[in-house]
């Protein structure tokens, strides 16, 4: 009994001593729209006059007096933010919303309906050179006579039409072959003088197991990826096409999420197994590491959103250095990149209230260009960039309109 009382007293004394010590809060302040750090932000405890100022990188450090203190973040160009310290948020990163009158206008370009007049409800599309290969349903035919593949040349002429009879989507593998994937099978599209044929049928799970992680080939080596630890650890491997030897090229980890997983495993080991609600919450918490690898002409780049860097390598996988990036800190930045392999430009994707926009990423500096917004179109999907033009699929809501392919010029 005395031992129990002593333990309880020791606990409360340690808590009392802890709360008497200054509590150091560290973090950074970012622009919610651009993701750029915000310098010269006044950070202070509510009710106190003294405080600190963020440096050129948006970083700050300040000591609180007790749990329950409110930190105030103030800047002339942004809405003031108040955060109550609850004892867990030792690293407090803040996203500043620009004041309404300070918001820059996004550049808007005209949008063209590319598939207008085709009488095709477009389900997918892929670029074959400068021609566009569509997949979709033509309502002039019964369902058994659908869907169709339609190739349209750059001048608007129809190259061929082909009825697949199976709904599917396009997939371009790391060897630049184009495949047609259904629910059950994968077929390679073989193009000839008489049109297209579906060949080399492969069971869909077997195909995806082999091909979905394959990225590209460079210097006689295949680059492929593997996720582990609830998708919080991403490893890029190099497989030699001659010797079949494999080596690790780059490992990227979200250390914070990995520590959370370790603690969570300890927590669950001391109690009942997780229920359905726990597992659903985990899915929301543990988004996969986002660090896509892209080969563009003579440069290989890893857009490492997790560590806030763009890593650059030559085609033989020798390091060319890196640049810091901040745009991914924007709350509107999506885990999506659009690559224009004809112009070798890369674009970040942003979404705000259902409207999407893009910004070109300048790889060498890590900065972004002007925001280019898609006007008057909400919840567009299947965005791609080709030859300086942004393409996307869209169907008018609450109407009988066909799902169409649109394009917007980016230059």
**Three-state SS annotation for 120-176:** EEEEEEEEECCEEEEEEEECCCCHHHCCEEEEECCCCCEEEEEECCCCCEEEECCCC
Distance of CA 34 to the CA centre of its chain: 15
Which pLDDT score, from 0 to 100, does residue 113 have?
Answer: 92
240 to each of 217, 220, 237, 244, how far by Cα in Å? Answer: 10, 6, 10, 5
Distance of CA 19 to the CA centre of its chain: 40
CA nearest 341: which of 216, 166, 159? 216
Which pLDDT score, from 0 to 100, does residue 386 have?
Answer: 96
Strands (E), 39-110: 42-45, 51-53, 59-64, 70-75, 78-84, 94-96, 107-108
Residue with tokens 């080709």: 386
Mapped onto helix, strand or coil, the DSSP state of residue 98 is strand
Angle between helix axes 276-285 and 255-269 (nearest 10 degrees) is 170
DSSP letter (8 states) at residue 37: B
Distance of alpha carbon 222 from alpha carbon 243, whole angstroms: 12
Looking at domain 2-101, what is its CATH homologous superfamily? Carboxypeptidase-like, regulatory domain (2.60.40.1120)
Which pLDDT score, from 0 to 100, does residue 7 have?
Answer: 42
Which pLDDT score, from 0 to 100, does residue 188 have?
Answer: 97
Which pLDDT score, from 0 to 100, does residue 287 have?
Answer: 84
pTM (2 decimals)?
0.76
CA nearest 335: which of 312, 301, 303, 378? 303
Mapped onto helix, strand or coil, the DSSP state of residue 206 is helix
Which pLDDT score, from 0 to 100, does residue 256 have?
Answer: 76
Distance of CA 154 to the CA centre of its chain: 30
Q: Which residues of 76-95 are buried (b: 16+ CB within 10 A; e: fewer)?
A: eebeebebebeeeeeebebb
Beta bridge partners of 12: none
Which pLDDT score, from 0 to 100, does residue 145 have?
Answer: 86
**Regions of the chain with pLDDT less than 50:** 1-19
Distance of alpha carbon 355 from alpha carbon 105, whole angstroms: 14
Distance of alpha carbon 20 from alpha carbon 16, whole angstroms: 6
Hey, what are 229's tokens? 């630890």
Which pLDDT score, from 0 to 100, does residue 100 have?
Answer: 63
């Amino acid at each position: 009994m005395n031992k129990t009382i002593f333990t309880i007293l020791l606990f409360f004394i340690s808590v009392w001593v802890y709360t008497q010590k200054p509590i150091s809060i560290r973090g950074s302040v970012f622009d919610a729209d651009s993701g750029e750090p915000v310098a010269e932000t006044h950070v202070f405890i509510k009710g106190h006059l003294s405080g600190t100022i963020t440096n050129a990188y948006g970083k700050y450090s300040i000591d609180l007096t007790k749990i329950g203190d409110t930190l105030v973040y103030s800047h002339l160009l942004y809405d003031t933010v108040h955060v109550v310290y609850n004892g867990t948020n030792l690293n407090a990163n803040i996203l500043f919303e620009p004041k309404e009158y300070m918001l820059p206008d996004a550049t808007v370009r005209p949008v063209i309906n590319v598939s207008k007049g085709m009488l095709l409800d477009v389900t997918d599309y892929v670029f074959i050179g400068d021609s566009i290969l569509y997949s979709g349903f033509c309502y002039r035919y019964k369902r058994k006579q659908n869907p169709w593949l339609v190739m349209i040349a750059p001048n608007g002429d129809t190259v061929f039409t082909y009825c697949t009879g199976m709904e599917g989507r396009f997939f371009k593998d790391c060897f630049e072959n184009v495949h047609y994937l259904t629910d059950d099978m994968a077929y390679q599209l073989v193009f000839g003088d008489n049109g297209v044929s579906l060949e080399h049928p492969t069971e869909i799970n077997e195909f995806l197991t082999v091909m979905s992680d394959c990225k590209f080939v460079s210097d006689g080596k295949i680059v492929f990826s593997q996720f582990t630890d609830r998708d919080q650890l991403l490893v890029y491997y190099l497989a030699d096409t001659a010797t079949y030897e494999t080596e690790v090229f780059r490992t990227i980890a979200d250390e914070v999420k990995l520590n959370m997983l370790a603690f969570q495993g300890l927590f669950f080991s001391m109690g009942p197994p997780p229920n359905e609600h726990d597992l659903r919450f985990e899915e929301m918490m543990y988004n996969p590491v986002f660090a896509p690898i892209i080969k563009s002409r003579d440069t290989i780049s890893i857009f490492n959103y997790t560590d806030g860097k763009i890593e650059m390598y030559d085609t033989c996988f020798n390091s060319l250095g890196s640049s810091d990036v901040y745009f991914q800190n924007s709350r509107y930045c999506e885990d999506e990149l659009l690559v224009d392999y004809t112009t070798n430009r890369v674009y970040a994707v942003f979404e705000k209230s259902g409207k999407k926009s893009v910004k070109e990423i300048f790889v060498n500096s890590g900065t972004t260009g002007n925001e280019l917004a898609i006007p008057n179109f909400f919840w567009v999907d299947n965005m791609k960039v080709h030859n300086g033009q942004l393409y996307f699929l869209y169907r008018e809501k609450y109407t009988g309109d066909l799902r169409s392919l649109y394009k917007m010029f980016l230059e």
